[in-house]
Amino acid sequence: MASAAETVERRRGISYRTIARLRHGSLRGIAILYLALMIALPIAALIDKGFERGLTSLREAFAYPGGKEAIILTLQMSALAATVNALFGTMLAYALVRYRFRGRQLLSAIVDLPLAIPTLVTGVMLGVLYGPNTVLGKALASAGIKVVFAKLGILVALCVVTLPFVVRAVQPVLLELDPAEEEAAQTLGASGWTTFRKIVLPAIRPAIAAGALLVFARSLGEFGSVVLVSGNMPFKTLTAPVLITQLASQFKPDQAAAVAAVLFGISFMVVLVTTRLVRTQKGRES
Amino acid sequence: MSDIAVPVAPRDAALRRRRRRLVRAGLLAACLTYLALLLVAPLIGVAWTALEPGWGVVRGTFSHPDVLHAFYLTAIITAITVVVTGFFGVVVAWVLVRQRFLGRGLLNALVDTPFALSPVTVGLACVLLFGRGGWFHEFFAARGIQIVFALPSMVLVTIFIAIPFVIREVQPVLEEIGTEEEDASRTLGASVTQTFFRVTLPNIRWGLLYGVALSTARSMGEIGAVFIVSGLIMGRTETAPLYIWRALEERQTASAYVVALTLAAVSIVILAAIEWFKHKRIREDEA
Residues of B in contact with A39 (CB under 8 A): 110-111, 113-114, 160, 163
- pLDDT tens series, chain A, 286 aa: 445 555 555 555 567 778 878 888 899 999 999 999 999 999 999 999 888 888 888 888 888 888 899 999 999 999 999 999 999 999 999 999 989 989 898 999 999 999 999 999 999 999 999 988 888 888 898 888 888 899 999 999 999 999 999 999 999 999 988 888 888 887 887 777 888 888 899 999 999 999 999 999 999 999 999 999 998 888 989 999 999 999 988 888 889 999 999 999 998 888 888 888 777 766 665 5
d(CA B126, CA A41): 10
Instruction: Mutation target for B interface from A121, A222, A275: give the one with most B CBs within 10 A.
Output: A121
Q: Is A213 helix (H, G, I), strand (E, B) or coil?
A: helix
How does A272-284 read in b/e, with b if 16+ C-beta sit within 10 Å? bebbebbeebeee
Q: Would you call A91 and B27 a contact, using CB atoms and an 8 Å cutoff?
A: yes
List the 192-231 stretch of A: residues with Cβ below 8 A of B.
Answer: 192, 194, 198, 214, 217-218, 220-224, 228
Instruction: Tell me what pLDDT residue A1 has.
Output: 46
B38 to A159: CB separation less than 8 angstroms, yes or no? yes
Cβ distance A256 to B124 less than 8 Å, yes or no, reads yes
C-beta atoms of A115 and B91 within 8 A: no
CB contact under 8 A, A95 and B35: no
Residues belonging to chain B: 287
The verdict on A58 touching B (C-beta cutoff 8 Å) is no
B249 touches chain A (CB under 8 A): no
Mean pLDDT computed over B214-220: 94
A35 and B118 within 8 Å at the Cβ level: the answer is no
Q: Which amino acid is at B240?
A: A
Identity at B282, one-letter amino acid code = I
Let me know how long chain A is.
Answer: 286
Report whether A43 contacts B125 (CB < 8 A). Answer: yes
> Is the confidence at residue B30, as pLDDT, over 90?
yes
- Does the CB of B174 have a partner CB in chain A at under 8 Å? no
Interface test with B, best of A35, A97, A183 (most B CBs within 10 A): A35
A with B: how many residue pairs have Cβ under 8 Å apart?
285
Query: How does pLDDT run across B84-107, given as a tens digit for each residue?
Result: 999 999 999 999 999 898 889 889
Q: Does B146 touch chain A (CB under 8 A)?
A: no
pLDDT at B213 over 50: yes
What local confidence, expressed as pLDDT, does residue A155 receive?
97
Best mutation site among A24, A28, A57, A215 for testing chain B: the one with the most B CBs within 10 Å? A28
pLDDT over 70 percentage in chain B: 95
Which of A219-233, B228-242, B253-267 shows the lowest per-residue confidence on average (mean pLDDT)? B228-242
Mean pLDDT within B122-145 = 90
Residue B7 has pLDDT above 70, yes or no: no
pLDDT band, residue B14 (cuts 50/70/90)? confident
| Closest by CA position to A84, among listed A155, A161, A150, A151 | A155
CA distances from B203 to A149, A189, B22, B99, B172 (A): 49, 47, 45, 19, 12
Q: For residue B275, give the nearest of A4, A112, A134 by CB distance.
A: A112
Render A234-278 in DSSP notation, one character per residue: TTTT--HHHHHHHHHHTT-HHHHHHHHHHHHHHHHHHHHHHHHHH
Answer positive or negative: Cα dihedral of B109, B110, B114, B116.
Answer: positive
Judge whether residue B4 has pLDDT over 70.
Answer: no
Predicted local confidence at residue B1, as pLDDT: 45
Report the SS3 class of residue B134: coil
Q: Are A73 and A237 in contact (CB under 8 A)?
A: yes
Which residues make Cβ contacts (< 8 Å) with residue B262, sequence separation at least 6? Answer: B71, B240
Among residues A241, A240, A237, the alpha carbon closest in space to that of A223 is found at: A241
Quote the DSSP letter at residue A177. Answer: S
CA–CA dist A143, B2 (Å, integer): 44
**Average pLDDT estimate for B191-215:** 91
Q: pLDDT tens, A144-176?
A: 888 889 999 999 999 999 999 999 999 999 998
Q: What gap in Å lies between CA B249 and CA B44, rounded to an integer? A: 23
Interface of B with A in 176-195 (CB under 8 A): 179, 183, 186-187, 189, 192
Contact between residue A218 and residue A165 where contact means Cβ atoms under 8 Å apart: yes
Q: Residue B275: closest CA among chain A residues belongs to which residue?
A: A109
Give Dmax over CA atoms of chain B in angstroms.
87
Q: Which of A105, A120, A276 to mutate to test the interface with B (most CBs of B within 10 A)?
A: A120
> Looking at the partner chain, which of A23, A128, A223 has a beta carbon nearest the beta carbon of B42?
A128
Residues 257-276, chain B, touching A (beta carbon < 8 A): 257, 260, 263-264, 267-268, 270-272, 274-275
Residues of A in contact with B248 (CB under 8 A): 124, 228
Which among B124, B189, B241 is the nearest to A120, CB-wise?
Answer: B241
ipTM: 0.88
Q: Is A51 on the interface with B (CB under 8 A)?
A: no
